[in-house]
Chain A
């Protein structure tokens, strides 16, 4: 049942021009960054040749690419997720799902997985650029995999947080702005405190390690906890509307 809903969600994303435009724009900007990094690498080539342990092309190219990709996605995910629940509410289509023999958890998970499918497609498309380098040379595939995993986890976290915000309102634009605000806040939350709880909460901190190829199960656990928390919140939020207030 969840996969029916997820497939439906993915389909309706592709039925709107928004998704196509976003795919095109993101791909274009990432390609631009990729090319800029490639130019830089070519310029640095003579200097690198003199170094004893020069950083590899993956480090110099892929890590900056995925580091920028996250910031771009922080803008894009709220635009994709804003419709998830708020649009259902605005178009009054929620009763269709609520009176069908499915649970609210299934509804929320179906929508989440639909969006996640779309985001993973974007990750896949973005990975084609670094992979194209394989035709000309060698890549640190382990580092690339860590980067892709990092971006995927980050996007999954973004999607969960924005799904929850989308459950709060019936105005898609409000949902988009709210999600963006929340994501940005979680990104910079460690700026004031640095270490401690705030530092641990920061999305960015857990991402950096993965970008450098450092796979730590604590970071992965952080993302999984983050995702679960917001999905549970979204389920509870939707459920609360039915109940006696």
Chain B
């Protein structure tokens, strides 16, 4: 993977005065990968994105974009970069066409290919019919699309989108997600968002940042694995005592939710992903407990997110080694 990483970040740090915004962050994004970047407000997401796009200089660390060092050759590296900031950088008194032409020129697209590049970006973002309208007169959703069009007009290797679906209606959100997936085909995409289902729908990999540090970096498949959790819901007409359940191999804990419903905890890291489900069913049948429900308990991504980002033992900025 290391050879085909379009963006590599090593030991990135940035502080504002005494406050550490980003602390020793390292990651890479492969070609064709969509990375979901999650974190609570103030965790350092936007700061990281600003550093990746050259809007902020990092305190320490190295950023490589398409093999080019962003700090040593900023102009070369930025050619391969498309960025949609949290608030789309639009000139409200230009028309969509004028604005996109300006963006294309800023990215050194030669005059001869200007029209084609503008048309292509407009087509991909569904802006075909609003080309002659003033950006200031467009709805929020269309403005957001113009912002995305601006980020992809020069066909960059790395596209960085900071909350691209804010303020869009559900249909537009679906379109934008589709577009992001499409971009993921040939580019690397980093997508920052607060909307967790969006991550599940569009990303290949998820990264959660908390207090400027990575607390989770996993593929979507890995996240699904985590979501399966370490617990089963068990419904019994005649529940036996806890001791009898704990005696079944694999069961680590029993929690009574209602008189006839129990939560069984097991070690999710163990080799059998299904846990003690089979053994439980067998025991229930043999001993006549009256089994009526047995299901793996799903944790949502939200629960994982909350769990990781509110954990108290996350290292404090000051004591980080």
Check if A8 sits within 8 Å of B102, measured CB to CB.
yes
Contact across chains for A95 and B75 when beta carbons are under 8 A apart: no
Contact A99–B150 (Cβ < 8 Å): no
B residues neighboring A (CB under 8 Å)? 14-17, 50, 53-59, 74-76, 78-79, 81, 83, 85, 87, 89-94, 102-103, 105-108, 150
Interface centre among A4, A92, A101 (most CB of B within 10 A): A101
Q: Which residues of B contact A92 (CB under 8 A)?
A: 85, 87, 89
The answer, among A100, A242, A245, for a CB contact under 8 Å with B106, is: A100
For residue A96, CB closer than 8 A to chain B, the reply is yes
Residues of A participating in the B interface, judged by any CB pair closer than 8 Å: 1, 4-5, 8, 12, 15-16, 91-103, 242-245
Besides the known contacts A101-B75, A101-B106, A244-B57, 14 further A-B residue pairs in the complex with CB atoms under 8 A apart: A4-B106, A5-B106, A15-B93, A92-B87, A93-B91, A94-B89, A98-B53, A98-B54, A99-B54, A99-B83, A100-B78, A100-B103, A101-B107, A244-B15
Residue among A4, A8, A93, A95 having the largest count of chain B Cβ atoms under 10 Å: A95
Task: Tell me the minimal C-beta distance from A120 to chain B in angstroms.
Answer: 23
| Cross-interface CB contact of A101 among B16, B55, B79, cutoff 8 Å | B79
Chain A, Cβ-Cβ closest to B93: A15
Most chain B CB within 10 A, of A8, A92, A99, is at A99
**Residue among B58, B93, B103 making CB contact with A96, cutoff 8 Å:** B103
Known: A100-B78, A102-B75, A102-B106. A95 touches B92 (CB 8 A): no
Instruction: Answer whether A12 and B93 are a contact pair too, CB < 8 Å, given A100-B78, A243-B57.
Output: yes
State the majority secondary structure of interface residues on A. loop
A80 CB to closest chain B CB (Å) equals: 16
A97 lies within 8 A of B93 (CB): no
Report which of B56, B78, B92, B94 forms a contact with A242, defined as CB distance below 8 A. Answer: B56
- A94-B106 Cα distance, complex, nearest whole Å: 13
User: How many angstroms between the C-alpha atoms of A237 and B89 in the bound complex?
Assistant: 21
In the complex, what distance in Å separates the CA atom of A4 from the CA atom of B98? 12
- Chain B residues whose CB sits within 8 angstroms of the CB of A1 once the complex forms: 106, 108
Contact check, A95 vs B94: say whether CB atoms are below 8 A apart: no
- B residues in contact with A15, CB < 8 Å: 93-94
CB distance from B39 to the nearest CB of A (A): 20
